[in-house]
Homo-oligomer: A and B are copies of this chain.
Amino acid sequence: MLNICLFGAGRIGAIHAANVAANPNAQLTCVVDVFAEAAEKLARQYGARVTTVEEALADPEINAVIIASSTDTHADLIEQAAEYGKAIFCEKPIDLDVERTRACIETVKRTGVTCLVGFNRRYDPNFSYLKKQLEDGQLGNLEMVNITSRDPSPPPAKYVQSSGGLFRDMMIHDLDMARWLLGEEPVEVYAAASCLIDPEIGQQGDVDTAMVTLKTASGKLCQITNSRRAVYGYDQRIEVLGSEGMAQANNQLENSVVVTNHDGATGAKPQHFFLERYAEAYRHELNNFIAAVNGTEPVLANENDGLMALLLAEAAVESLQSGRAVRL
């Protein structure tokens, strides 16, 4: 039975806590949060105790940590947890700074702890199934990937400021999916982007609408389409073309009902946002982490994947500024 400490009792922390509770091989032992009330509420619900970072890491009974606290705490917590030999599940990103990320990875590698970085989409059953088609050769040789990723509504401009911007905060998930599906590192990155939705986002120096093109050494191509606003909800689709066919992972809808009348045939919208759409992905992700700690599975996304996606985001930013494709 794995004893897990959760850092961060917010919305995503609560999801991981529930998934730990549902896993027969793990239990939530303690919770840490700067907001005592949030920590206590979650601890009470799952029979865990509230504690501090120091106490939790020093406790030899604790085998693993889940880092779901604010982004600026990730790298420090990873390093400390690694030094104490705890297995680490860390929400993305490791850090918004490449050098800080590299240093952090060094520590993880040196200490040899298990480290899962939260690229939750790799665990989505639809995307997993699509990837399986590729790996099983059902689609022949992969030639093209098209990723559509749109949020239902833009975040507050204030959030944008601390987020690292659209490429490092939002598209990083798509860049990771691109790497994962292409099965080969992109060597060329081009970005075009605009601020069309919220002028305040532009005033923060960020964009809200973006298209990125990736190319691998063997010539595979990938397009990513991002928007901070899709009035119809969270739009998360992937399409791949191979020499033997195409596979498309479409949105999951709110329900299966279609109403047909004078206006046409109207079906449901996509599930609203990531908590609904990726509920199952979060469950698989947590289970993969626990299995990895128990040595029965490798993690599906590790610290190195965290770095590589960040490097692609950095290249996209550079391309946007220079108007050139950036070579890696």
Contact = CB atoms under 8 A, between A and B. Distances in A.
A255 B225 CA distance: 23
Contacts of A227: 143-144, 241
A284 to B, nearest CB: 13
B247 A258 contact: yes
A325 interface: yes
A246 B246 CA distance: 22
Nearest to A237: B256
Given A146-B225, A243-B231, A325-B324, A268 B264 contact: yes
Copies of this subunit? 4
Contacts of A246: 230, 232, 235, 259-261
A11 interface: no
**Chain A contact residues: helix, strand, loop or mixed:** strand
A229 interface: yes
Contact of A265 (B231, B261, B266): B266
Contacts of A256: 126, 249-252
Query: Which of A126, A197, A227, A241 has the most chain B CB atoms inside 10 A of its CB?
Result: A241
Contact of A266 (B220, B221, B263): B263
B257 A247 contact: yes
A175 to B, nearest CB: 16
A219 to B, nearest CB: 3
A227 B210 CA distance: 23
A96 to B, nearest CB: 25
A295 interface: no
Contacts of A125: 255
A215 interface: yes
Interface string A156-183: 0000000000000000000000000000
Interface of A: 125-126, 129-130, 133, 138-141, 143-144, 146, 148, 150, 188, 190, 192-197, 209-211, 213, 215, 219-221, 223, 225, 227, 229-232, 235, 241, 243-253, 255-269, 323-325
Given A146-B146, A190-B325, 7 more contacts: A126-B255, A146-B148, A146-B225, A213-B223, A244-B261, A245-B260, A248-B259
20 contacts: A129-B255, A143-B209, A146-B146, A150-B241, A188-B192, A194-B215, A195-B219, A196-B220, A231-B262, A232-B246, A244-B261, A244-B262, A246-B260, A247-B259, A248-B259, A249-B255, A249-B256, A253-B265, A267-B267, A323-B325
